[in-house]
Structure formats: structure tokens, C-alpha cells
Structure 1
Amino acid sequence: MDDQGVAFTPVFSIGPVEVTNTVLVTWAIIAVLGVSCWLVSRRLQLTPPPLQTAVEGVVLMIENAVAAVAPQHTRQIMPFIGSLWIFLVVANLCGLIPGVHSPTRDLSATTALAILVFLSTHWFGIRIQGLRAYLRHYLTPSPILLPFHVIGEITRTIALAVRLFGNMMSLEMAALLILLVAGFLAPIPILMLHIVEALVQAYIFGMLALIYVAGSIQSHQLRSSPEE
């Protein structure tokens, strides 16, 4: 395979740090999303135009999804989960652009996202519950289970990274193989398959992140509710 077709091909170096295609595409996505959010939010109107209506619909859909899992902490969680969902949708779909590889087909990118979810889980848990109350849930119902809690945290983070990477890599490889065998006789079904799978994988990753964060926040409440 040509090296230029690999998502983690080094493009240039900043000292000892190599900047790859994945990093460049990720930076581009962040820049595009940042500028888009700034432009959309500049002139909000009480009678929204079509673009504002579409954006408000997306925000409302994300808010309802977060509220269904963590109704008491929707306002705290939504900015992180919403940003993660939107980034994943764009990152997964950008592989449809000729010459551009989706960052999520690179294991380093999905690992970084999984680590971000891992750190955010503890951040929200400590911020809302307090450090002592949050750490106490690792000793519940028995201190003997502490190693299993730690192992569970690590394994689910690894699974989160590998699942997204494997699905996106296999999706692009399958599309490439079909194009090599069938030529361009069936581009539309392949395109639709890519879009649907990209959206599904973004939804699954974001929903798992939401469940992990909500679980860390609500663990103390679930223990204390029977006594109340």
C-alpha cells in the first residue's frame, strides 16, 4: 500500500514530534467546528432562519439524549457529550472526502478520545460528588472489589478505543475492496453504507461515554437513595 494512503503518515515534524495526517485532519475539524459555531451563534434570532432551526434541533436532540440518562446533571454533562458527538460525526464522515482519511481509523486518535472519556468520567464524578464520596464508591460494597473496579475502568477504556478504531478501519477497507472488485458500478450503496455506519459508530461511542460519565456521577446517589 502506498504510504500516502495511510492515515498515520508523518507530514512534517515540530522538533522531535511528528505531525501525521490524523493530527492535521483533527486540527482541521476542530477549526471548522469552532468557526462554524462562532458564525452560527453570532446573530441568533427569535424567529430562527432555517440554519438556526436545524442547529437548535441538533442541540435539542442531544439535550434530550443526555437528560434521558442523567436528568439531574444535564447542564453539566451536555457541553462535553455534545461536543464529543458532533466531533465524532464529522470525523467519521470526513473519510468520504477524496484524499482525506477519517481520524477515527487511526488507533492513536481513538485511544486519545477514550482517554479523554476516562479522565472526564473521574472529573465529573469528583466535581459533583466530591473527592471523598467519589473514591468511596471504589470500595463499595466491599474493599475486596477495589482491584476489579480498577481493572474494569481500564478494560472499558481499551474497549472503547479499539471498538471505534476497528469498526471505522474495517468500514473503509470494505468500501475499498468493493470498489476494487466492482469498480464504480455501485458507488451510491457504498456511500450510504459509509454514512449510516459512521453515524451509528459516533452514536455508540458518545452514548457509552454518556453512560460512563452518568454512572460516575450517580453512583453516590444510588447508594444513598434507599436510606432517604
Structure 2
Amino acid sequence: MHLSPDVVVYWQLGFFKINATIAFTWALMLLLTLGSVLITRNLSTDLKRSRWQNFLEIIVTGIEQQITEIGLHNANKYLGFLGTLFLFLVTANICTIIPGYEPPTASLSTTAALALTVFIAVPMFGISEQGMGNYLKSYMDPTFIMLPFNIISEVSRTLALAVRLFGNMMSGAMIIGILLTITPFIFPIIMTALGLLTGLVQAYIFTILAAVYIAAATRTRKPKPKPQSDPGPVH
């Protein structure tokens, strides 16, 4: 049982090393890339479609619906980032059933990197939607006194994203590892199934939080209409 996949080193040359976190992260990215190429290579616009295309459309439509319900009206604009984030987390969790697999999300470095992508994506989408000036003004809304607090909020919620995902993923792996050493194999199998369910929930929560942060950053603030003066009675 390992506290973190970082301690599993496959190759090292001086300062440079390839541990389980790096190896399985790149393996997951390669798997997702090849999978997307294979699934989308023969897409059809006819009524007769393959099962893979129907399955893909169900996933894409579901993600788009969730993005829209959060408040991001142009779902296609955010689908690439949020969809990739969700599929990476789901795949990283599902692959835990493979013997010898070390989930990279059990490493704080991976969850911190994922949270950092959200930290960068939020202002990027906010600036593209509102413009640089309006987005920066939002940090001083309703008064300039809120500027340091808004900055602290940006940093703290990024840290919270990383620690929350890391804690939930690592705790599940540790519980299963402990049960394997003190109990028969039947009970750990049940806990593994529950761990898969927990991982799916955490992937959903992480993606939803990222979408909520982006929705808050891209929300346009319309100026309040000026009250019209009463012209008085007409004689």
C-alpha cells in the first residue's frame, strides 16, 4: 500500500525521474486521445448511427445540459475544457479496477495541477466574455475594499479544490489497502465498488464547481436603468 503514487519510481536519472503519477497521467491522456480519435473517426449525420456514436452523443448532451443548467448559456464554448476535465477524472477512477494501476488523482501534485487549470481557465473565460476592464472591475465590486478579499477567495478556492479531490481519492485507496491486509477478499471488493461510485461523484463535484466558478466570472453585469423623470400632467 502506498500513501501516494509519487513514491513508486519506475525510472530515475539524477534529478529526473518517472514515477507512477507521471506515467499513469500520460497513459490516461494517451488513452483518452486514442479513444476520442477512434470514436469520432466515422461519425454519421444519418439516422443510422453506431452504438459508439449514440453513447458519445449521450455523454456530450448530458455534459452540455449540466453546463447550461449551471448558468453558462453558450455550452459549446466551455464543453471542451469542462468535458475533458470530467472524462479525465472519471477514467482515472474507473481504471482502479486494473491490477497494478496507481490512480494519479491520489497524488496531491495531480489534483493541484487540475485545480491550477481551473484557476487559469476562470479569468480566461471571464476576460473573453466581459473584456479585460469589466472583469478586473469585478474584483472591486461593490467597493475597492473587497479587492484583497476577492483575490484571497480566488487562491483559497483553488487550494480547496485540490485538497478536496486529493483527500477523497487518497482516502478511498488507503481504506481498500488496509482492508486487503486484515480481511478476506469479499469485503474489499464491495469497498472497491463503493470507491468507484465515490470517485464518480467526486469527478462530478469537481467539474460542477469549476463550471460554477467560470459562470461567476463570465456573468455580465448590466447597468441599472436610470429612472425616468415624471413629465407631469399634460394640459
- Is the Cα contact below 8 Å between 1:93 and 1:102 reproduced in 2? no
Partner of 2:170: 169
Describe the superposition over 1:70-113 as per-residue Cα deviations: whole angstroms up to 9, x where unpaired.
Answer: 34221211110001000110112222211111111000000000
Letter in 1 for 2:157: R
Letter in 2 for 1:49: S
Distance (whole Å) between structure 2 residues aligned to residue 31 and residue 15 of structure 1: 27
Partner of 1:23: 22
Describe the superposition over 1:7-40 as per-residue Cα deviations: whole angstroms up to 9, x where unpaired.
Answer: 0033224774332211110101111110110111
Partner of 1:42: 41
- Is the Cα contact below 8 Å between 2:39 and 2:53 reproduced in 1? yes
What's the secondary structure of 1:203's corresponding residue?
A: helix
What's the secondary structure of 2:43's corresponding residue?
A: coil
Describe the superposition over 1:164-183 as per-residue Cα deviations: whole angstroms up to 9, x where unpaired.
Answer: 00000000111112222222
Q: Cα RMSD between the aligned structures?
A: 1.8
- Is the Cα contact below 8 Å between 2:72 and 2:215 reproduced in 1? no
Partner of 2:138: 137
Unaligned runs of 5+ in 1: none
Query: Hey, which of these two has a bigger chunk of helix by percent?
Result: 1
Describe the superposition over 1:171-209 as per-residue Cα deviations: whole angstroms up to 9, x where unpaired.
Answer: 011111222222212244123201101100100111101
Number of equivalent positions? 223
Runs in 1 of length 4+ with deviation above 6 angstroms? Answer: none
Q: Percent identity?
A: 38
* Correspondences of 1:118-197 after superposition (within 5 Å): 118-197=119-198
Q: Tell me by how many angstroms 1:128 deviates.
A: 1.6
TM-score (norm 2): 0.89
Of residues 204-213 and 171-180 in structure 1, the stretch that sits farther from structure 2 once superposed is 171-180
Describe the superposition over 1:117-169 as per-residue Cα deviations: whole angstroms up to 9, x where unpaired.
Answer: 00000111111211111101001100001000011001000000000000000
Distance (whole Å) between structure 2 residues aligned to residue 226 and residue 150 of structure 1: 26
Q: Which is higher, the Rg of structure 1 or of structure 2?
A: 2
Of residues 178-187 and 206-215 in structure 1, the stretch that sits farther from structure 2 once superposed is 178-187
Distance (whole Å) between structure 2 residues aligned to residue 11 and residue 117 of structure 1: 30
- Is the Cα contact below 8 Å between 2:111 and 2:163 reproduced in 1? yes
Unaligned runs of 5+ in 2: 227-235
TM-score (norm 1): 0.92
- Is the Cα contact below 8 Å between 2:179 and 2:188 reproduced in 1? no
* Correspondences of 1:53-92 after superposition (within 5 Å): 53-92=54-93
- Is the Cα contact below 8 Å between 1:104 and 1:165 reproduced in 2? yes
Partner of 2:222: 224
Of residues 141-150 and 65-74 in structure 1, the stretch that sits farther from structure 2 once superposed is 65-74
